[in-house]
Structures are given as C-alpha cells and as structure tokens.
Structure 1
C-alpha cells in the first residue's frame, strides 16, 4: 500500500496574514516534506490565507520519489527592493527530482517598485537595478510539473528553468503590465525536454497561448538571444504549435548576436495565429543594442532547418516576414508553407524581406515568399 504525508505550513508556525514573514515556516515544512520516506510527500499551503515570504531556496535531493508543493493559499513577495532581504529569486528549487507544483492560488511578485528602479527604463537613476529577481526558479531539477497556478507582477522573469530536464507546465496564467521591463513569462536556458501546454501568458508585451516541446532557450516571444559575447549556442529540436499572439512586439522570432557561434537547427513553427503583431515572422542574426544597427562579422550562429507552416493573421508592420540573416553564415533550409498574413487596419499592404535566407516555398504564401533557392 502506498504511503503519504502532508506538511501543512500552519503547523510549522506560519501566520498567513500577509504581513508576518512566514519564510521559516516554509523552510521547516519543506525539510519535513523532503525528508519524508513516504511514497507521496506533500507541502501544503492552505487556502483562506496569504503568506508573505522572503527569498526561499528549497534544496534537494529528497527521499520521497513523489513530491507535491500544493499552493492553495496566496503567496506574496516583500514590498519592493527595500524590503527584500537579498536580491535573490523568490522561490528556488535546486536539485529536486519528481516535483509537482500545483494549486489554484496566486503568487504575487509585487514587481512595480523594482520596475520603477530598472536600469533599462531609468538609466540615470542612482542605484538602479540591472538584474532583478525571478519569482520561481528550477535549477538542476528533473521530472518537474507545474500547473493551474497564477503568477503576477514578477520583478523580472516569472519562471526560470535552468540546467533542468523533463519539465512540464500546464494551464498556467502569467500576467504583468505591458510596460514592465524584461518580465518574461517563462525563460528556459540550458535545459531539455521542456513542454508548455494550454497556458495564457501576458508578460510585458507578450501574450501567447501555446504548446511547446524540447527546447533550451528563451521562447516566450523568441528563440534567443543567442551568441552574446561570442558564446557558443546549440539549440535544436524546437516545436512551437498552435500559438495565438495578440498585439505582441514579435511573433515567431529567432534572434542571435553576430559575434556568436554554434547552431539553431530543426525548428518547427506550425499553426500560428497573429492578431496585430509587429513582427509576425522574423529572424534576426544581427541582434544588438546599437540603434544604428550592426554590421556583418565573420562569425554568426548558424540557423538551419526552420519551417513555418500554417500561419494566418494580421501584421502591424509593413514587413510581415523579415529574415535578416548573416552574409558570412547565411540561414539555410528555411521553408514557408501555407502562410496568409494580411495588413492590420492601419496598413494598406504587407511584404516580405529576405537577406541571405535560403530555402523553399510550398503552397499559397502571402505576402509572396522572398526566400532564395
């Protein structure tokens, strides 16, 4: 017979009034959960309460093969930089295997004071922040499933997956204002077998509903940025299916620094819908921060075998399909199939633009394909 245990944080001293620091209770309850030898071990954040926490790190490995972190009560971050005890992520799971993070409650990062002190938006502000905390991070974790939670107002990225494997996200709702800086919905780095299913993400200027498989990069609004500072990027086997983009700055985007090396290969964009999107389909191998643009260099991250099939909708920019590839390391094996992009009401027409992009076109593609054979 399977055995189970439950560690209710109220039994470990949590007040649950949204004012008292309940961090210690969370750590005690996690210690009990992680060290339980039962088949199913649960840390319970009970409903009817709101729990204020400082940055928390939940370390593994744990003894139970099936860990549950059940968030039925709300969790809130401290009120801005002056209240955080350290500029660290709010909830970090490290070297944890077999974790299910579930619930129906909201985790609120209270990000506005951080955004108001962002170096990106306030470069002249003394003591501004270049790096701001993430709300939930998975580091060196395996077999993770996160579902049915609401994450709002993160200081920076809402979720970070880093050096992890077999991570699934289901039915998440992520929300932050359109003008919030760098509030990625889900940022994935150096990870494998990550899936994002049936989730609604309104993070900064990004709003997607999508299914995503097998990726190791930032994919909420793009694959990239890759190759920064001459680093080697190797990103392969990406599938982006059944995604809806509403008023985003970018749709299906791949962006790389021209100083980088490596390859982006075997990427499949399929059944995409765009609603007034600025750049529905875009590859940029000249990504940089110079407003005048950057020139071609002898190196670049090679982009190969990227397919776009079944894309429809409206473009808010005249160039609906923009492939700006490197002269020295061109894009290869790009394919367009059955694409119908029309201008938004504010535009009369849309077009495609290709620089050093080679591939093939199948079926009815509008605007007309510009790929070189």
Structure 2
C-alpha cells in the first residue's frame, strides 16, 4: 500500500475506534474521585484515581473532566490498560502550578505505555511565564529540569482531537515511540518570547498524522528528532515561532534515520524560519531521506527555505568541521509568499556528505524587508538541485565565500548561468 494510503487507512480506523469507545464507554467522573475544581486544590490524585479505574476495565472506559478550572501537580497515567481508554475534557481547563520548584520531573502530564487511547477536548495551561525569563533555566547548560506540558511515551494507535496546550514551561507536546497516532484540530498557544517552547516534538515513531491545527509559540512549531518515520502534516498554520524543522541532527551518536516526511498545505506567518533541515557541524553520522515540503504559503518569513548543515546556536559546536549527516531525496514544491531576508532559499549542505537528489519546483518567493521589498536571491553549496517549473527569484547574485564549494543559483532555468566553480 502507498504510504499516503496507509496513513489514511490508519486515520479511518482510529476514528471508528474512537466512535465505538464513546458509544460503549463506562464513564468515570473525576469529581466522584474527589476533584474540587476550584483552580487551586491539587486535583491530580483524583485524575489518577479515575484513570486507574478506567484503565483496569476490560470494556472501553472514559475519564470525564467536567467543564471548569482545575489545578494539578505532575501526574503519570500509565498502562498497559485492559481496554480502550478515553479522556474527555471538553470545556475544562487544567492548570499547572507556575512554580518550577513544585516539579520533580521533566513532565507535567505523562501518558505512557497505552494503546487505543483517545483524548478529546481540554486546555492544558502550563503557566510558564516565570520560567521563560529565567537565565538559570535557559542558559547554555540548561541547568534546570523543565517540564513538558504533555509528554507521550509509547502511546500507540491513538487519537488526540480538539485539545489545547497553552503557555508550556518547555515543549508543549513531546512524542516518543507513539506509532500510528493522529492529532486533529490541536491548538498550541504561547507568546513569541516564550523560550524553548516547541509546539510538537517528534522522535522515534512510525506513523503520525497532524492535521487542521494552529500553532503559535516561541520556538519550532513542529520539530523532528531522530527516528521519525512516515509522518504526514497538513493544514497546519504556524506562527509566531521558528517554523517547521527537521532536526537538529547529528548531535548524539547512534541517532536513528529520519525517513518519509510529508509537509503539505500549510501556512507559515511571521516566523524566524520557514521549512528547514538542520544538522550540527562536527556531527556524528546520520541519515535523513524522503522529506517533502509542498504547497506552503510563507507570509513575511525569515529564511523561508533552508537546509543548514552548519547549524551552531550559541557557538556550542566546532565550527569548520563538516557535518556527517547525509540528506537525500528532498523536495521543495509550490512554496510561495514573502521573505524578510534577501536570501529566500539557502541550501547549505555538508562538503563531507553532499545532499543527493534535491528537487526545487514552482517556487515564488519575494523579498519583503523592513525597509521595503525587491527581488530575492538563492544560494546553495554542496548540492546540485533539480530545478523544474516556473520559479522566482529569477536573478542570480554572485556570492562565493568559499569558491570551491559555494554557488549561487537562479531558480529560473532560462536565466541560469554558471561556470564550473558555481555549479550546484
């Protein structure tokens, strides 16, 4: 079966599963377990008690969080469960305490080792404002253990729908080993100045669909760690934030390959970057392949299209030593809009592991800076992209800090003019 068909079939099965669970579920109201719902009392024990009862039932069961405002310290909801479990929280807001001292782990709400799980509705407010401004927590060594709003570990064949994550202290949603999972109509909301608040971070999973979602945050809207496979993202709006990022890759030894990523029909607005793939210089070996960006609108985005194999934030790396992460079978198609940087597309691949089979097709990006607009330009190094269709920018800008490896190219096939040194 084609990969797209596989994902659609998985989505359909998950919705059928969720519908069946709703029709036959035994409902455990957290208020019957002692939840107060005054926004001050720790209702975590009541949530955990309701979960344990639902998880122990052989037939489908639901944990009901009625409309209202609740407060909860860290809670761990563990399986395996005997039957499908759903958490219904439509109209409910659950708040984390703002004080970091009240957390002893790197998760606020952790759900782990569960299959056929559904979460419907609910706003999860991490109240992270104090943490974002902490120089201790966000120094180069990350000396604090900062909790993720919603951490999912080995939650498989599951559905998350109509949920909101707000003001997380760290990442909003972090997925690890969550095969065949669907996120639909997810809202992530944090201000532009919130630090390290990636919207959805993905790693070590096979099969994920994120659709019809809106992400506003202070870091990557969606970020991919190693081992991400067969992921489809569509109808997602992103911004503010840092865009949608594959990586950073190669920082650690024995990272698993990234393979089969489709990002389509998205809108990115006012972000530092658009769609990018990034790896560290002096990296460990790694592989990322079959990565496709298509039909994406950029609105005043810095670096709309970027491959950066020299990624080195805060100078925490050995510059000048090439990345060993191999990128191949990458495409950028039907990407249009405005760039706040003159170089609207930059493909900076590694001289030690040049990018293979990179396609650029039907790009229409114009420069729109703070002092006005004009034609945009494109640069590449250590890659020979396949350029097809009608593309803008059309003008070639000559810029070769390293003539042996860096060429600057026009995206218009008619106006491409290179000598041997400039060829990408």
Judge same fold: TM > 0.5, yes or no: yes
1:1-373 pair list within 5 angstroms:
3-38=24-59, 40-47=60-67, 49-64=68-83, 66-72=84-90, 73-82=92-101, 84-103=102-121, 105-119=122-136, 121=138, 129-204=143-218, 214-215=230-231, 221-258=244-281, 259-289=283-313, 291=315, 295-297=319-321, 300-346=324-370, 347-367=373-393, 368-369=410-411, 372=423
Distance in 1 (alpha carbons) for counterparts of 2:114 and 2:135: 32
**Offset from partner CA, 1:184-204 (integer Å, 9 cap, x none):** 100001111111100000011
Distance 1:34 1:220 in 2: 37
Contact 1:108 1:154 in 2 (8 A): yes
TM-score normalised per structure 1:
0.90
1:147–1:340 Cα change, 3 Å: same
Aligned residues: 361
TM-score, normalization by structure 2: 0.80
Q: Is the 8 A contact 2:98 2:129 kept in 1?
A: no
Shift of 1:207: 6.0
Q: Structure 2: give runs of 5+ residues left out of the alignment.
A: 1-19, 223-227, 234-241, 394-409, 417-421
Runs (5+) with no aligned partner, structure 1: none
Instruction: Give the 3-state SS of the residue equivalent to 1:11 in structure 2.
Output: helix
Preserved contact between residue 195 and residue 219 of structure 2 (Cα < 8 Å) = no
1:160-201 per-residue CA deviation (whole Å, 9 max, x = no partner) reads: 001220111100110101011110100001111111100000
**CA RMSD across the alignment:** 2.6
> Larger helix proportion, structure 1 or 2?
2
Structure in which a larger fraction of residues adopt strand = 1
